[in-house]
Amino acid sequence: MDRIRIRGGHPLVGEIAIGGAKNAALPVMACGLLTDDRLVLNNVPRLADIGTMKALIEQHGIAVERLDPLGRILSLGGQITNTEAPYDIVRKMRASVLVLGPLLARCGEARVSLPGGCAIGTRPVDMHLKGLEQMGATITLESGYIDARVQGRLRGADIVLPMPSVGATENLLMAASLADGITTLRNAAREPEIEDLAHCLISMGAKIEGIGTGELRIEGVKHLHGAEHSIIPDRIETGSYACAAAITGGRLLLRNARLDHLGAVARTLREAGVEIEEQDSGLLVSRRNGLHGVDVMTEPYPGFPTDMQAQYMVLMSVAEGASMVTETIFENRFMHVPELNRMGARINVHGASAIVRGVSQLSGAPVMATDLRASLSLILAGLAAEGETIVNRVYHLDRGYESVAEKLSACGADIERISG
């Protein structure tokens, strides 16, 4: 099993290209199920989760072709020949449930395994199912599968989400695009990835209003057509490498990064002492003075994202003073804390909050990654630590970060990936 070795203490200097957003690419790939025409996607990241979604869509009958040697341009097209999303594929990634809405809207039926993914919480799909039921679907759960059917077309409905769920918003947005009538999604998620999905659907002929707000109005159409769409840059990758620049006292140009997508991340990092400067080619991130503790609470966008919580906690572990990190999205997302404490961090968890008391120096140690974002947080800790850090179980990393060791090494980090 692969692991990553890091010898810390080297400021990162240089530039890192920010790739396409995984969490935008996955739902946009599911749009390929909404039309028989060709959908061409640019700026697709090369990640394990993209491969999983490719395999899932292909087994539904849609051809997915790579149009360039690096696989950053995908062409999707073909007719749906199978409406079952099997456990063997869906168990690898929670986003696989995003095929449910498109399959049901196109074919009137879908059988989708209950999803898997990182073990960071229950993340039920209740909101997806209740919304589809309001649109006329009949849904049963049996033997670990969601069985959904509708007579004729889905119908427009007024749907109020109990919380702004990203996945439920995406699934219902895609389904509503082909429904009969008008669907209103209230308390919808507002993440940039939702906006990206809506823009892709509009380019395919969908009629959507309220993009970027908590209320989406979708007027269903009978058919969607092919289109070409470019995936937005990954704001979580941007935030992660911004933390890398700050924790090492370095200076990184994050090429293609967008400040307007960072929301509370940029505000919080600046308050903690990180300098972020907009440039034509991206964001320049540096730290000239010391870091200091700033409390943070994870919230739906534009609040601080749960996907940045672990990385920010590492930054706070070497900041002056104390800070409190409160997790409100997932109930099991502090699994990286014992590993950070092995490296000399002083973090105490009390329920949904972690008290972080900054230390002057972390120490290298063998640690184990427990999920995708925890993997990157341990690498950040290794970059700042004295001595050698070995991060085990880095297969999680491949789901959401492309060529981490290569990108960091090119900027001066002493880091390598060890196979076997």
Per-residue pLDDT tens over the stretch 155-205: 999 999 999 999 999 999 999 999 999 999 999 999 999 999 999 999 999
215 SS3 class:
strand
Does residue 23 contact residue 231 with C-beta atoms inside 8 Å?
A: no
SS3 9: coil
Q: What is the pLDDT of residue 331?
A: 67
Whole-angstrom distance, CA of residue 186 vs CA of residue 158:
8
- Residues 401, 23 contacting (CB under 8 angstroms): no
The sign of the dihedral angle between the CA atoms of 166, 50, 93, 34 is positive
Q: Are 31 and 174 in contact (CB under 8 A)?
A: yes
Active site residue 107: no
Count the Cβ atoms, other than its own, within 10 Å of residue 175: 28
On whether the pTM is more than 0.75, the answer is yes
| pLDDT value for 329 | 86
If you compute the radius of gyration of the chain from its CA atoms, what whole number of angstroms results?
Answer: 21
Q: How many of the other CB atoms lie within 10 Å of CB of 221? A: 16
Q: How far is residue 251's CA from residue 285's CA, in Å, rounded to a whole number?
A: 6
**Number of residues that make up the chain:** 420
Q: What's the rounded Cα separation, in Å, for the pair 312 and 196?
A: 25
Label each residue of 177-197 as H, E or C. Answer: HCCECEEEEECCCCCHHHHHH
Tokens of 373: 């974002």
Angle 394-398-401 from CA coordinates, rounded to 5°: 110
The residue among 129, 170, 173, 174 whose CA lies nearest residue 35 is 174
Distance (Å, rounded) from C-alpha 268 to C-alpha 387? 29
Cα–Cα distances in Å, from 115 out to 88, 96, 276, 296? 10, 7, 37, 30
From CA 25, how far away is CA 376, in angstroms rounded?
20
Segments of the chain with pLDDT less than 50? 117-123
E-state strands within 342-403 = 346-350, 353-357, 366-368, 388-392
**pLDDT tens digits along 292-325:** 999 999 999 999 999 999 999 999 999 999 999 9
Strand order in the sheet with 13-17: 13-17, 251-255, 282-286, 275-279
Strands 251-255 and 13-17: parallel
Distance CA 200, CA 33 (A): 13
Q: What is the pLDDT of residue 373?
A: 86
Q: Which of 31, 118, 200, 243 is catalytic?
A: 118
